[in-house]
A = this chain, B = another copy of it.
């Protein structure tokens, strides 16, 4: 309140007002809307002259393009349609325990290029992982720029707690990374982009991808649960990621669901990850071939489920049962009635879905209705889409940074 009050009375703030109004006008221009300057004036309360001047600057940034004259059928007033320019985009990258993924997302939300490489990253030297990721990213960026796209920024998502300001992975137990400085690599992933490359948590980025490019069109408030080797999560409240006081919120993988259960990699006991992470499900299903990768064994699990293997079905249903407990606890604490499941939970939805619904029914009838249970369709692109989308949003919030 103090800052607002002071700003409203202090002199010499014209620059701030112009910056705010540029972002305000831009917020009224979407990927597919053919909005006119007159529409924006009506929506914002700004004068048409102001809007025209602000739009001229936005065209200069390259974020917005004119689509030719459009005629509004209702009012019959012609005007030039404006839309976000699909020739601007951002890089998204993800380091996961068993794969690397990169992609370029444009301002229309289209994935313009995309690469996924299977990898066994658990315990692998960070510099080797990052070198492979850089090579993938450069191929992906080259493909996108060849198609006429200019990069605004980027993001890298990792399965762990991060310090985005310093570019450090604080701890990623399933990679065995601790206090790993990736700031130098961030710069090389997408060199000299105006909005930089920012580090994020994989599950938070996947939750944001769901918000912006998935079920966010239907739910404003939900828990996102990301099933990988680890189990991560993100809380979306009022269509925004709720990241908590220190940025670590949404750690649903370490909600206690089986008090008498096993030790977890976090040092605790009975965490959701110990019964619903990939390794936990594979062990319960009896698919324990140590020679092959987690990804290969997950494929074996799916084959076993399709063949109706009882042990495999029971293992996955058990995971669904415990997922229900974690979802109920989260829904009670944060006041939610929807959950979106990604990663292997989405892949296994046919078997995990009914067990989850039945668990929700038993532990909190009516709290999360069947219509509140959704599965992500973003597969391995979720985290990279979220990381890229965050970079695009940084650009849309500060278009003046692109003016000379």
Interface, chain A (partner B; CB < 8 A): 1-2, 4-6, 8-10, 17, 20-21, 23-24, 27-28, 43-46, 50, 220-221, 233, 235, 237-238, 242-252, 254-259, 266-270, 322, 325-326, 328-330, 332-336, 362-367
Shortest CB-to-CB span from A320 to chain B, Å, is 13
Evaluate contact between B333 and A334: CB separation under 8 angstroms.
Answer: yes
Structural contact, A329 and B328, CB atoms closer than 8 A: no
Chain B residue nearest in CB terms to A249: B335
Q: Complex formed: what's the CA distance from A247 to B335 in Å?
A: 7
Contact (Cβ within 8 A) B335 A333:
no
Which of B28, B238, B246 is A245 in contact with, Cβ under 8 Å? B238
A271 to B179 Cα, complex, angstroms: 37
Give the distance to chain B from A253, nearest Cβ to Cβ, in Å.
8
Check B255–A332 contact: CB distance below 8 A.
yes
Given contacts A268-B365, A364-B268, contact A44 B252 (CB under 8 A): no
User: Are A44's CB and B5's CB within 8 A?
Assistant: yes
Bound Cα distance A245, B365 (Å):
19
The minimal Cβ–Cβ distance linking A355 to chain B, given in whole angstroms, is 13
Contact of A333 with B255 in the complex, beta carbons under 8 Å: yes
In the bound complex, residues from chain B placing their C-beta under 8 Å from that of A336 are 244-245
Q: Are B335 and A245 in contact (CB under 8 A)?
A: yes
| Inter-chain contact B270/A363, CB cutoff 8 Å | yes
Q: Give the chain B neighbours of A23 by CB distance below 8 A.
A: 1
Most interface-central of A1, A259, A333, A336 (chain B CB within 10 A):
A333
A363 vs B325: C-alpha distance in the bound complex, in angstroms?
A: 16
- Interface pair B256/A43, CB less than 8 Å apart: no
* A2 adjacent to B332 (CB under 8 Å): no
A6 cross-chain contacts in B, Cβ below 8 A = 44-46
Query: In the complex, A243→B267 CA distance in Å?
Result: 31
Residues in chain B near residue A242, CB distance under 8 A: 334
Q: Which residue of B lies closest to A223 (CB)?
A: B333
B363-A268 in contact (CB<8A): yes
Known contacts A20-B5, A255-B332, A335-B243; A266 and B221 CB within 8 A of each other:
no
| Shortest Cβ distance from residue A325 to the other chain B in the assembled complex, whole angstroms | 5
Does B256 lie within 8 Å of A334, measured CB to CB?
no
Chain B residues near A335 (CB-CB < 8 A)? 243-251
Residues in chain B near residue A46, CB distance under 8 A:
5-6, 9
Contacts of A365 in B (CB 8 A): 267-268
Given contacts A44-B6, A46-B9, A268-B362, contact A258 B259 (CB under 8 A): yes
**Cα–Cα distance between A28 and B1 once the two chains are bound (Å):** 11
Identify 14 residue pairs between A and B in the complex whose beta-carbon atoms are under 8 Å apart, listed by A's number: A2-B24, A2-B27, A4-B20, A5-B20, A5-B24, A6-B44, A10-B45, A221-B244, A237-B244, A250-B333, A250-B335, A252-B333, A256-B328, A270-B363
Contact call B9/A21, Cβ cutoff below 8 A = yes
Tell me the smallest distance from the CB of A238 to a CB of chain B, in Å: 7
Asked if B20 contacts A256 (CB within 8 A), the reply is: no
Residues of chain B within 8 A of A256, CB atoms compared:
257, 325, 328-329, 363-364
A330 neighbours in B (Cβ, 8 Å): 333
Q: Considering the chains assembled together, what is the distance between the CA atoms of A17 and B221 in angstroms? A: 33
Contacts of A21 in B (CB 8 A): 5, 9
Interface contacts beyond A221-B245, A248-B335: sample of 6 additional A-B pairs, CB < 8 Å, sorted by A = A238-B245, A247-B335, A251-B332, A256-B363, A258-B259, A330-B333
